A and B are shown apart, each in its own frame.
Chain A
Amino acid sequence: GESVGLHLPTLSVQEGDNSIINCAYSNSASDYFIWYKQESGKGPQFIIDIRSNMDKRQGQRVTVLLNKTVKHLSLQIAATQPGDSAVYFCAENNAGNMLTFGGGTRLMVKP
């Protein structure tokens, strides 16, 4: 089974609120992490990444936090908008050459 993430939970937030999507990983050798956004009928799209020598990285309205001590990754979306509604996947790159994907979280934004 997957070493990253949980089995597709759903997060419902009010438009304008901040969203926090969480992901747990089990491989302490993982040194690179990515968040993907998948809208209905489309393939996953890269949002933001972070390497293990960092614990925080910010993009436009998004922030990724990495806690290596507890092997936890989170994606924070500021001022969530209806266009943010999608499934979000975390992925890890460990000693191998491939990404291992989590089960995904569905984000629903209420107007």
Chain B
Amino acid sequence: GAGVSQSPSNKVTEKGKDVELRCDPISGHTALYWYRQSLGQGLEFLIYFQGNSAPDKSGLPSDRFSAERTGGSVSTLTIQRTQQEDSAVYLCASSFQQGRGYGYTFGSGTRLTVV
């Protein structure tokens, strides 16, 4: 597609349920990033995929969070046993190369609300 596509755009879930958030990066972009943005806050790095290399998971806040990227394209962020503090906008971005010297293209995000 022409841009980074994220789905769903909005998700309301009950506390304790698992959720999956999907990201379709720009075709040909080898790097993919997940960020979290709480209301009125900045961007919190979660995880980074580059090609076939092992992902950088250093930003994941707990072991309830995981992500995978299949075939070097689509990525899924999974949050298990959701908590109210997980409520945020989850943003995905992709870039053509590794981050150095290249900007990211962001999707519109998935707004997650845990009730």
Q: Which residues of A contact B (CB under 8 A)?
A: 2, 5, 7-8, 31-32, 34, 36, 41-46, 49, 51, 89, 93, 96-104
Q: How far is the CA of A45 from the CA of B107 in the complex (A)?
A: 9
B103 and A42 contacting across the interface, CB-CB below 8 Å: no
Q: B86-107 interface mask toward A, CB cutoff 8 Å, 1 = contact, 0 = none? A: 0000010100001111011111
- Chain A minimum-CB-distance residue to B93: A43
Q: How far is the CA of A89 from the CA of B108 in the complex (A)?
A: 16
A8 and B41 contacting across the interface, CB-CB below 8 Å: yes
Q: How far is the CA of A17 from the CA of B71 in the complex (A)?
A: 49
| Chain A binding surface, main DSSP class | loop
B: number of interface residues (CB 8 Å): 25
List 10 additional A-B contacts (Cβ < 8 Å) besides A8-B41, A42-B109.
A8-B40, A42-B108, A43-B109, A44-B91, A44-B104, A45-B106, A89-B42, A96-B99, A97-B50, A98-B99
A93 and B101 contacting across the interface, CB-CB below 8 Å: yes
- Chain A minimum-CB-distance residue to B6: A43
